[in-house]
Structure 1
Amino acid sequence: MKLDLAGRTALVTGSSQGIGAAIAAGLARAGATVGVNGRDAARLAGSLEELRERVPDGRFVAVAADVTTQDGAARAVEALPDADILVNNLGIFGARPALEITDDEWRRYFEVNVLAGVRLTRAYLPRMTDRGWGRVLYIASDSAVAVPAEMIHYGMTKTALLAVSRGFAKEAAGSGVTVNSVIAGPTHTEGVEEFVRQLVGDGLPWDEAQRAFMREHRPQSLLRRLIEPDEIAHLVVYLSSPLASATTGGALRVDGGYVDSVLP
């Protein structure tokens, strides 16, 4: 299969590191011009240097904006007004006992993990439908389906994304624009390394800590290891391509078999 995105422009939110950076690199390898998003302009410049080392022929544009705010989202759209592909990747997570999650934390998780993507979709979807082509993707999580007891506020937001993406897919029906969510499983990122250490302690070498985490906290995984960010990116690039033209309104899993179901 040739995943050809030449001539297309993509915006990937929260793409200065981790899964977002892997998605940005994958889209660039397929030929897209990629808007790389982060809040800190200096840090974003460093991320672009790293991405250009990974993809020497890639075309990247810095989109320094806090897309969790209305003003920041407007700046992102101004910087990249005609995106053909929107990947709503930005998200936060963290462990917290269920009865200790405050109202402010519930609101913050919803605003960052859900509303930021909704706001950008409202901005870009009409432009895509006018052109008759576009891709909108939400990076969800196995936590959307198998809500972890240690972070139900995070699980709630990822469940919401499944509904949001399905709803916007209906809004885009018949237009040539597809809208999907990607259910990512436990993935190896810097933030997850910190999370693993938080749950299993700092005393173990990383390989042992990872295995202990999967065994004790994610025993459903059929991979029995953390997924690498590039493995998430491969599915995102496919769904962003013309070859995925008949896939819309879906929740597609790249979870290592974590969710014990043939459907989400």
Structure 2
Amino acid sequence: MKIELENRTAVVTGSTAGIGRAIAEGLARAGASVVINGRTQERVDAALHDMRALLPNAKLSGVAADIATPEGCAALIARVPDTDILVNNAGTARPKNFFDQTDEEWLDLFQLNVLSSVRLSRHYIPKMTARGWGRVVFISSESALNIPKEMIDYGMTKTAMLAVSRGLAELVAGSGVTVNAVLPGPTDSEILSNWMKSTAQEQGITPAQAEQDFLKTMRPTTLIQRFATTEEVANMVVYVASEQASATTGSALRVDGGVVRTIT
């Protein structure tokens, strides 16, 4: 299978590092014109510099905007009024005891992880349906199904993304626009990698040992028995964004290394 995305524009939120960065690279390799997004101009410029060195023929641009806010989403939309592919990737996790979390912390996480994708989907999808083609991908998590007790707020936001994704797929049925969610498991992304490095330093072990300890204690059901790479997650997203995936919509597609113990 050869995926060609020439003449397609893709917006990938939260794409200066980690899974988002890998998705942006994957879409660019397939020929799409990719818009990088991050909260600061410094992060966006650094990502563009590195990606242009890696992919000198790629069509890349960047928009610095904090899409956790309505103003940030409006700024992104003003710079990129239309797109063929929207990847709602921006998000974070903040491990904290449930009983110590404030209302403000819950609302802040919901703004970033959920409402950013709602606002952007609300703008871009009508234009996609008018053209009769479009791809929207929500980056959820296996934590949407296995709610982690140390990040209940995070699990809630990722479950919400599944609901929004499926509802939008129903809404645009028959239009030529597909809407799907991708559920990564533990992934060697910037956030988790830094966490493992910090843990390793604190405990006097190697990052590889910290990774295995994490899996044994926090995700013992993993079948691959390692973290996924960001590229492995990106591969699923690039496929879902392709013409070849035209019959895949309303789905929750797992790249979780088998962590979730279900066959559905």
**TM-score, with normalisation over the residues of structure 2?**
0.97
How far does residue 55 in structure 1 lie from its aligned partner after superposition? 1.9
Unaligned runs of 5+ in 1: none
Q: Structure 1 pair 47/94, CA: closer, same or farther in 2 (3 Å)?
A: same
Deviations 1:155-182 (A, max 9, x none): 0000000000000111111100000000
Structure 1 partner of 2:206: 205
Amino acid at match of 1:246: A
For residues 46 and 202 of structure 1, what CA distance do their matches in structure 2 show?
32
Q: Give yes or no for contact 1:94–1:195 (8 Å, CA) kept in 2.
A: no
> Aligned to 2:24, what secondary structure does the other structure show?
helix
How far does residue 241 in structure 1 lie from its aligned partner after superposition? 0.3
* 1:156-195 correspondence runs (5 A): 156-195=156-195
Deviations 1:202-233 (A, max 9, x none): 42111111111111111111111111100000
Structure 2 partner of 1:60: 60
Q: Give yes or no for contact 1:199–1:213 (8 Å, CA) kept in 2.
A: no
Amino acid at match of 2:236: L
For residues 261 and 67 of structure 1, what CA distance do their matches in structure 2 show?
34
For residues 127 and 114 of structure 1, what CA distance do their matches in structure 2 show?
21
Q: Structure 1 pair 199/145, CA: closer, same or farther in 2 (3 Å)?
A: farther
For residues 156 and 252 of structure 2, what CA distance do their matches in structure 1 show?
16
Aligned-pair identity (%): 50
Q: Does 1:40 align with 2:37?
A: no
Q: Give yes or no for contact 1:88–1:138 (8 Å, CA) kept in 2.
A: yes
Q: Give yes or no for contact 1:25–1:54 (8 Å, CA) kept in 2.
A: no
Amino acid at match of 1:81: P
For residues 195 and 207 of structure 2, what CA distance do their matches in structure 1 show?
12
> Aligned to 1:150, what secondary structure does the other structure show?
coil
Q: Give yes or no for contact 2:196–2:207 (8 Å, CA) kept in 1.
A: no
* 1:1-264 correspondence runs (5 A): 1-196=1-196, 201-263=202-264
For residues 224 and 130 of structure 1, what CA distance do their matches in structure 2 show?
44
- How many residue pairs align between the two structures? 263
**TM-score, with normalisation over the residues of structure 1?**
0.97
For residues 67 and 94 of structure 1, what CA distance do their matches in structure 2 show?
18
Q: Structure 1 pair 109/32, CA: closer, same or farther in 2 (3 Å)?
A: same
C-alpha RMSD of matched pairs (Å): 1.2
Unaligned runs of 5+ in 2: none
For residues 238 and 208 of structure 2, what CA distance do their matches in structure 1 show?
29
For residues 71 and 110 of structure 2, what CA distance do their matches in structure 1 show?
18
Amino acid at match of 2:17: Q
Deviations 1:117-167 (A, max 9, x none): 000000000000001000001000010000111111000000000000000
